[in-house]
Structure 1
Amino acid sequence: MNRRADLRRAALAGLSLLALSAGAASAQVQGASQPADPEAPVVTGEVVIFAPLRDSQTAALREQRQADNLVNVIASDTVGRFPDQNSAAALSRLPAVAVQRDQGQERYIQVRGAPNRWTSVSFDGVPVIGVDEGGAGRAFRFDAVPAVILRSLAVNKSLTPDLPAEAVVAQIDLRTYSPFDRRGTDLQGELGLGRMNLGGGEQRQGSLRGAWSNDTFGVMAAVSHYRRAQITDNREFAYDAARVLSSFDARNYRLQRENNGAAMGLSWRPSDDHEFFLKWVYSEFKDDEERNHYTFQLGSALSGTRGATGGELVGVPVRSTAQFGEYRTKNALTTLGGEHGFADGWRFSWRLNNAKMSNDTNLPLLLQNQQFNRLLRPSLSYRLDDPNFPTIKLYKTINGSTAGTYARGEALTAVDQGAFDFNIGLPIVSEIEGDSWTAKGDLSRENDRWTFKAGYQYDQREIDGNTIGQPTVLLSALLPAIGQADLKAADYVTTKAWETDFPLGATLNYLDNRRLRKDLETKLQTLAAAGRYNPSSIIAPTSRYAIDEKLTAGYGMAKLGFDGGQVVFGARVEHMKQKIAGFIQAGTTVTPLVIENDYTDIFPSVNAKFDLGQDMVLRGAVQRGVARPSFGAIRTGASINDTSAPGTVSGGNPRLKPEYTWGADVSFEYYLSSDSVLSLGGFYRDVDNVLYDARTKVADDTYDAGGIDRTGYDFISTLNGSNGKLYGVELNYQQNFRQLPSPWDGLGVSGNLALLDGEFDTPARKGAPFPGTSKTVVNTALSYEKYGLSARLSYQWRDDWADTLGGLGLGSGGDEFRKAYGNLDLTLRYALNARLTLFADASNLTNETYIAYEGDTKHPSEVEQIGRRFMAGLRFNF
């Protein structure tokens, strides 16, 4: 790691120690006079002007303390005092939770540095399975869920048998509002406007939630909207075998991202012991993206020199790629349920849920321009004074003094964006649809010191879709159909220069990508009408899949309470039945293939809690969990090459085994007061069958067809490795200084530190890092709440982490890492009165540059920046 990162880590360590010192001093001042009050009233997470942040923290900590398992909770009022637009950003405030960003926007979360596939998600206790682009993962996309429709968020870090076993490190429950959260009429909302610093694009957000309830009936409805127009600066790099820069991309994205959400709820309580409810939740993420992309292919220059610090080249090919794409993620969940109490301590709860999930990628424009005429290629000199930002000087390329040679001509100030003599236009489409039905029931009874609970769950999932690919059959069909007079780059160059903060040394203008897409679609429609283009050929048969899953689960558990503690123990049994359908292709022959898997697993767990005093809790847990492979990874689709020696089979692997884990957790929690806590915890996970991408041999007759025995072919796919381990320590501190004299009694501080590590083995490599595991994750915040003012300055930082592992055999060469970065955010809230509050948010104040690199920071693979963001507006409550 470089010196700057070392200094930053040292500073953060110092901040953590300072916070701990302050906490220890505060604890001494408080003594036993302010113990945690387990009987404190529960404060719901509503946006109430005079329900301050500490009340919301009190509710979350009360739930955390009384829980049977190790859990972290964040209430919506806490979320409202951060500039968190989606649920991923909100969850990243919790201990040992890191966030994965896409063009600066939070998308996935990684609990304890683990791959995101090791975390499962539920809505109001009902499990849901995510569908990602191309079926690349089961990981749930949190950027599709606006934070404003949620009442609270809980991260279960240890499992009890009544929770789904499909969670290696955590199970996250997203809890929506209920009409009974507040009696009477309740109307809340907000309106906000802001700007993006890079490019000056608009931010806007709005939400409205209304509810009414009495002792018997309740109704609730909510809507939310967020949109931002964003510029993304981007550089991407490639290197030759000698680790010398061979090409780099200058990219600039203009995009509009939008999150919309809606929720409705009906509740009926015919008596104090019975409640029926119906909930509907909808969320969507929309991304309209214009890509402007120029690749300087330094390694293919006609002549010249390249080195570690720069080069002088003649005739450098430039490739231009432009597109206007649409990305859509949608979730629609409908839940019918009930809670019932009976005599003798019996209780019964039930849920019937339907979840429809979709992820669509529509790229009907991919314009690739090439330069076959060598005189169209620029000559250039480049420097790498900063390896993240190559700077160039451009020159014309002219004929040399002898035939067949070329030389540098006069200097240029701009890239000639019309200097291309060959182009290709292609549509690319991916459509993933998931339809899931879940029925579950839980029966429990309290009997003196014992509580017994048993339950049943049945899930039926149908997933249909395709991976993203560029079928060669479509390419060969369209090349002669779309002439070189069509879609010429010169016809789409505008006079608007790129809005960028990255140096380059030459000027580039935007293309009219939207008109380019429209012209391509018109051309394709004309070709289809003439019988020269078949839209169904867009998706190759080998990328299609249809997967049916039937999961049947049952569990039994017991809780024994005793003086000073309790123990919860039991087991969950899950039976999975899969039917995986797809196609394999050898040459022009396409053959359907269906594989079925059927297996049963037992998942025992034990959670113990000991009250060491009025304000101290010790927890321990042991559990078994599972993570199932992604839909794209287990598809049967595969492309077969019979002409190479040996032949190859590339595609999915329907024989993949799930990843299984045994894990242990321990945690010590010291509740300094009802709204303050100091905790220290550790965990260990031992994982079998770790998934990784590799090359091996076909060992059975799965891919035999047409009389050809393909045993022994190279098999390029996702495989199961042997074992892995993930472990770490979590430190969490949260303190409100109410004992200080006014006005300092409004101060508060919170911070959490996670120290993580882990590795896994494969037949080809020992000690490979888990992608996504930062060894250090830090969240800190300083707050002040008094006199109607609520201010919060927060900082998040994570250490370098492996992003993708290089080589099909997982050799260490070519591993791609993400560089450490931090985000500094400021939120201000001022209550004008009991009904109206002004707010202002400033995000990414450090203007972070997100960097990926291969092996070391001198070899960046991607550099990206989106700039600072600002928002101001009004919140209301009636």
Structure 2
Amino acid sequence: MTTAAAEAAADDEIVVSNTPIRDSIAKAIGIKREAVNIVDAISSDTIGRFPDQTAAAALTRIPAVAVQRDQGQERYIQVRGAPSRWTNVAFDGVNVVGAEDRIFRFDSVPATVVSTLELNKTLTPEMPGEALAGRVNIKTFAPLDNQGLHINADAGLGFVDLGNGPVRSYGGRISWANDRIGILIGGSKFNFNQQTDNYEPRFNAGGMTQVRFAKYDIVRQSNAAIVKLQWQASDSSRITATGLYTAFLDAEQRNQYTFNFAGAASGTRSNTNGDLVAVPVTGLFQDSNYATRNRLAVLHGDHEFSDWKIGWDIAYSKATFSQDLPLVNQTTSSADALLRPSLTFVAGEAGTPVITLFNTVRDSSGRLVRGTQRSALDQTAFTSENLVIFRQRFDQDEKFAKFDVARDWSSLGADAKFTFGFQYNDRTFKDRGNEAILRPDGTAGTLLFRPTAAQLNLPWTPTQLITQESALGRINVGFDVNFVDNPAIRSQVDAILAAANAANAAGGTFAVPRPDPSLTNSVDEKILAAYFTNTWKWSRHTLMIGLRVERAEVDAAGAARIGAVLTPINLSSRNTQYFPSVHYGFDATDELKLRAAFITGTARPSFTDQRATVTINDAAGVETVSGGNPALKPERAWGVDLSAEWYFAPASLLSAGYFYRGVSNVLFDSTTVVGDNRFNFGGVDRSDYQFSTTLNGGDGYIHGAEVAYTQPFTFLPGALSGFGFQGSLAIIDSEFDTGAGRKVPFAGTSKWVTNAALYYEKYGASLRLSWQRRSSWTDEVSPGAAAGDLIWEAQQRLDFSARYDINKYVTLYADATNLTDERGLRYQGSRAAPFELEYFGRRFLFGVRARY
């Protein structure tokens, strides 16, 4: 049975009640139990309520799934310790490519549009082979499956305690269907305003070299809209048209100060303390916007003709990522060292420095020395300002077509089902390139605000835009500092840029932000797949054997930059891959199910890694090439899964499983020798140049075990019967050969991933206290020694949610996130070298839901 059929079967078994958590769990268990492959699911309850605000938050409840957060918010997932790029994503079975270079942002999918999340941990041949870790299928609501008029709406308001910013949530969904036509319209908006404390030290052999203190003020939104039309042309034919839009928007202000300890005029420093005179300080101020958008249009059909079943999809999707990031950079005077502060520091929380500031003066002999102590940073002591610009956009367009044919028949004394099909993906990735500060003639320049504003007769007053609002937070930095009015600075920046561009149009020579053509590139990827399966079902045995074949054609276009000269590059690659798989299930008893699977898969290089754009340095003694590598091979994997599942009571499950994935051609950032003539432009032999790029390394593996247990304690007496528990534990290990003599874990592998939730449902109330923890993991692997690896400290999260049904139409709810105010800590090589310490606060939301 497919997961779609399993979900329908699960719906038939559940009676609508005031136990939404138990209903959701029972529905997900039904999907898992009936699927031919190994699947875990998160489902809405029988009246359409999904248990979390976003898909990212929900997926953390699945065994062996770890979440990666950005400033405290769930964003990416790592399945079974694998890198995020190894997880493939689909909406209603239609593949989509993540906007961030194949990586999908699950915080861009609000709960309003989600009916079920299915994580396929073992792939069947009708699924794309490009998912080494698993495939998440995000299923949206189908109005024909729930006839009549149905309305769901919710509104919530709350706050984030770090900065006391508001949290707002609005959403609604309306559907109507009879036995022939179904219509659904839905939309949602979830946003919050949060401050984030960020502290980043750096070290070398002489001790701490610098520390960066940043205060972020962010407003984030997750928006969605869906329209679905269904036509049941006959009892054996259904056509569905779906339009879906999701977006994640991030408006971000940053106040940042960097203390350059290594640039001090004199003094001593170590990893844990220092006494320094005249330390250079750089301020950086940002008022920026990031946007991730996904658009999907799908036409889907299901038809039955006698013993034949036909399914088809025609789809178009577009994913975009853009950033508008102007950074105003202010530097303390190098000519007047008296403007620089002197300071002492000692190691504080997690080894980050607590700084005591002093004035800088000269003694009787003219030497710079430490003067009187001061409580606050002198935010007016900056004498030069320039612009650093990061404007970038990625566009990914995909055309998708799929055709399936299935037929039931008898084979080997069993009921059997034979399926074959074809799938075509045509993807185009375009990197519009970063902007650079360029003069009208195209040469590089610098935009210095003070002289530029003076020439244009415009105001430039950043030191007059310091507010009286403290920028201090959870981290003890040791001194006082206030927010700067970043939007006001941005307004002055925009006025100066507009005037400079107008002056250039009239023959001026101002350096202004412009697209850098050397960074523009594109990748076209076409994949044609064919697949077949045959499934046999005896009384207690199920066996599926199948094969998928994929032919991929990749064409990359970019340019080689040699000094100021650009030379076009066009490179192509072709490969054909075969993906056999076997899935076996055995119903040992009516409650105990045993499974085994053999699978194969691939992970294609990111579009950025495959770009043809490179920079070449022909200087004697340097001779280097850096950039993309269209010659990369896809990573390949084979694996086995073994599991036992005991369905011992309604809405209850105890399961245990083991998995192994052997991986070859592991992708890794490193440096090698070019080795061929691909960059021999202008008759220069560059075959022996050092090439810094992404390479295929050696072999690797990921393996582990996972245990899950869930049960409502309905056997307890009286009020205690409302309690229930849901939890899982995964133990994971991984390793790969970098090809440079090092064996390291894959980025994202936590040895332990734990989830636990205690819930209570009775008397109209539904309460849940959930805890998640993942042990430390490597975030970035250094091409050199282990001392350069970036590692995240173990992270845990405690959340609480409450629902109370006033009646069958209205529910009150409250959500509390990160109750224990957990931090994020990243270090380089060892905890003696902290790399980043971050606090983002708790979040609270209170609201009401209505349904009809």
**Shorter chain as normaliser: what TM range?**
over 0.9
Amino acid at match of 1:745: S
Which amino acid in the other structure matches residue 179 of structure 2? D
Q: Deviations over 1:794-847 (max 9, x none)?
A: 0000000001122x3x32121110000110011110100000011011110010
Structure 1 750/535 Cα, relative in aligned 2: closer, same or farther at 3 Å? farther
Contact 2:437 2:512 in 1 (8 A): no
Q: 1:364 offset after TM fit, Å?
A: 2.9
Counterpart of 1:6 in structure 2 is none
Residues in 1 aligned to 2:585 and 2:31: alpha-carbon distance in whole angstroms: 14
1:847-874, CA deviations, whole angstroms, 9 ceiling, x for partnerless residues? 0011001122232100001111111110
Write the letter of the residue equivalent to 1:496. E
CA distance in 2, matches of 1:72, 1:860: 37
Match of 1:19 in 2: none
CA shift, 1:188, in A, is: 0.4
**Structure 1 residue 707 displacement after superposition:** 2.1
Mapped to 1, the partners of 2:327 and 2:666 lie a distance apart of 37
Q: 2:746 aligns with which of 765, 770, 777?
A: 770
- The structure-2 alpha-carbon separation of the partners of 1:47 and 1:386, relative to structure 1 and needing over 3 Å to count, comes to farther
Matched residues in 1 for 2:256 and 2:382: separation?
Answer: 14
Relative to 1, partners in 2 of residues 1:718 and 1:203: Cα closer, same or farther, differing over 3 Å? same
Q: CA deviation at 1:472?
A: 7.7
Amino acid at match of 1:332: R
Conserved 8 A contact 2:352-2:834: no
Out of 479, 486, 497, the residue aligned to residue 470 of structure 2 is 497
How much does 1:564 deviate?
1.1
1:49-128 aligned at under 5 Å gives the runs 50=18, 52-77=20-45, 84-128=52-96
Report what 2:451 is aligned to. Answer: 483
SS class of match (1:673): coil
Q: Aligned partners of 1:45 and 1:432: how far apart in 2?
A: 45
Matches within 5 A, 1:213-232: 213-232=177-196
Q: CA deviation at 1:534?
A: 8.5
The question of 1:755 aligning with 2:731 is answered: yes
Residues 1:199 and 2:167 aligned together: no
Residues 450-498 of structure 1 show CA distances to partners (whole Å, capped at 9, x for unaligned) of 1000010111111111455756878942346862767454132222111
Offset at 1:78?
9.7
Query: 1:536 Cα shift?
Result: 9.1
Assess if the C-alpha contact under 8 Å between 2:18 and 2:761 holds in 1. Answer: no
Alignment partner for residue 416 of structure 2, among 425, 450, 457?
Answer: 450
- CA distance in structure 1 between the partners assigned to 2:524 and 2:15 by the alignment: 42
Tell me the amino acid that sits aligned with residue 84 of structure 1: D
Change (3 A) 1:540 1:824: same
Q: Distance in 1 between matches of 2:512 and 2:99?
A: 22
Match of 1:786 in 2: 762
- Label 1:47 to 1:246 Cα distance change in 2 as closer, same or farther (>3 A): farther
Aligned residue identity for 1:740: L
What are the residue-to-residue correspondences of 1:728-877 with 2, within 5 Å?
A: 728-806=704-782, 808=783, 810-877=784-851
C-alpha separation in 2, matches of 1:559 and 1:697 = 49
Report the Cα offset of residue 311 of structure 1: 1.4
Matches within 5 A, 1:365-376: 365-372=327-334, 373-376=336-339
Shift of 1:49: 6.7
Distance 1:592 1:45 in 2: 62
- 5+ residue gaps, structure 1, are 1-37
Instruction: Indicate if the aligned counterparts of 2:251 and 2:290 stay in contact, CA closer than 8 A.
Output: yes
Question: One-letter code of the match for 1:212?
Answer: W
2:426 to 448, 452, 460: 460
Match of 1:434 in 2: 396
- Pick from 210, 213, 225 the counterpart of residue 247 of structure 1: 210
Residues 464 and 191 of structure 1: is their aligned pair in 2 closer, same or farther, counting only changes over 3 Å? same
Q: Which moved more, 1:550-559 or 1:53-62?
A: 53-62
Q: Which has the higher contact order (CA 8 A, sep 6+)?
A: 1
Q: Does 1:238 align with 2:181?
A: no
State how far apart, in whole Å, the 1-side matches of 2:438 and 2:752 are: 44
> In 1, are the aligned partners of 2:445 and 2:511 still within 8 Å (CA)?
no
User: Distance in 2 between the 1:824 and 1:80 partners?
Assistant: 25
SS of 1:253's equivalent in the other structure is strand
- The AA in structure 2 aligned to 1:868 is R
Whether contact under 8 Å (2:389, 2:513) holds in the other structure is no
AA paired with 1:146?
A: P
Alignment of 1:143-162 (within 5 A): 143-162=107-126
Contact 1:290 1:513 in 2 (8 A): yes
Taking the aligned partners of 2:283 and 2:683, their CA distance within structure 1 comes to 45
Return the alpha-carbon distance in structure 2 between the equivalents of residues 359 and 676 of structure 1.
41
Cα shift at 1:98: 0.5
Provide, for residues 641-689 of structure 1, a one-character-per-residue CA deviation record: whole Å limited to 9, x for no partner: 1114141111111111110001111111001123100000010001111
Distance 1:629 1:370, change over 3 A: farther
**1:4 match:** none
Q: Which residue of 1 aligns with 2:3?
A: none
- Number of residue pairs the alignment of both structures matches: 833
Q: For residue 170 of structure 1, what is the aligned residue in structure 2?
A: 134
Compute the displacement of 1:139 (Å).
1.0
Q: Secondary structure at the match of 2:588?
A: strand
Aligned to 1:12: none
RMSD: 2.2
Contact 1:179–1:220 (CA<8 Å) still a contact in 2? yes
SS at match of 1:185: strand
- Look up the SS of the partner of 2:30 in the other structure: helix
- Quick one: percent identity of the two aligned structures? 40
Give the 3 Å change call, closer, same or farther, for CA 130–165 of structure 1 in structure 2.
same
Q: For residue 306 of structure 1, what is the aligned residue in structure 2?
A: 269
Contact 1:46–1:77 at 8 Å: present in 2 too?
A: no
Q: Does the 8 A contact of 2:438 with 2:511 survive in 1?
A: no
Question: Match for 1:511: what amino acid?
Answer: V
Matches within 5 A, 1:473-872: 476-479=444-447, 483=451, 487-531=460-504, 532=508, 538-806=514-782, 808=783, 810-872=784-846
Structure 2 equivalent of residue 349 of structure 1: 311
Identify which range, 662-671 or 757-766, moves more after superposition.
757-766
CA contact (8 A) 2:44 2:51 kept: no
Would the aligned equivalents of 2:203 and 2:271 in 1 still touch at CA under 8 Å?
Answer: no
CA contact (8 A) 2:200 2:352 kept: no
Q: CA deviation at 1:371?
A: 2.8
Stretch deviating more after TM superposition (507-516 or 538-547): 538-547
Classify the secondary structure of the residue corresponding to 2:195: strand
| Residue number among 98, 103, 108 corresponding to 1:139 in the alignment | 103
Deviation for aligned residue 1:94:
0.5
Q: Shift of the alpha carbon at 1:45?
A: 13
Are residue 258 (structure 1) and residue 224 (structure 2) matched?
Answer: no
The aligned amino acid for 1:409 is G
Change (3 A) 1:537 1:713: farther
- Cα distance in 2, alignment partners of residues 736 and 259 from structure 1: 33
* Cα shift at 1:628: 0.5
| 1:490-520 Cα shifts (integer Å, max 9, x gaps) | 1322221114121122111111111111211
Q: Is contact 2:773–2:795 with CA below 8 Å preserved after alignment?
A: yes
Distance 1:635 1:534 in 2: 32
* Residues 178-234 of structure 1: CA deviation (Å, up to 9, x unaligned): 112311000001110001011100001011000000101100000100010000011
* 1:41 Cα deviation from its structure 2 partner: 5.2
Offset of 1:48 from its aligned partner?
6.9
Look up the match of 1:30.
Answer: none
What's the counterpart of residue 3 of structure 1? none
What amino acid does structure 2 have at the position aligned with 1:465? D
Query: Do the aligned residues in 2 keep the contact of 1:45 with 1:76 (CA within 8 Å)?
Result: no
Query: Kindly tell me: are residues 260 and 49 of structure 1, through their superposed partners in 2, closer, same or farther at Cα, counting changes over 3 Å?
Result: farther
One-letter amino acid of the counterpart of residue 54, structure 2: N
Counterpart AA for 2:316: N
AA partner of residue 183 (structure 1): Q
Q: Could you state the TM-score of these two structures normalised by the residue count of structure 1?
A: 0.92
Q: Residue type matched to 2:198 in 1?
A: N
Indicate if the aligned counterparts of 2:330 and 2:382 stay in contact, CA closer than 8 A: no
CA contact (8 A) 2:328 2:385 kept: no
**Cα distance in 1, alignment partners of residues 472 and 805 from structure 2:** 38
Q: Which amino acid is the alignment partner of residue 408 of structure 2?
A: E
Aligned equivalents of 1:496 and 1:78: distance in 2? 48
Instruction: Indicate whether 1:291 and 2:290 are aligned.
Output: no
Pair 1:412 & 2:385 matched: no
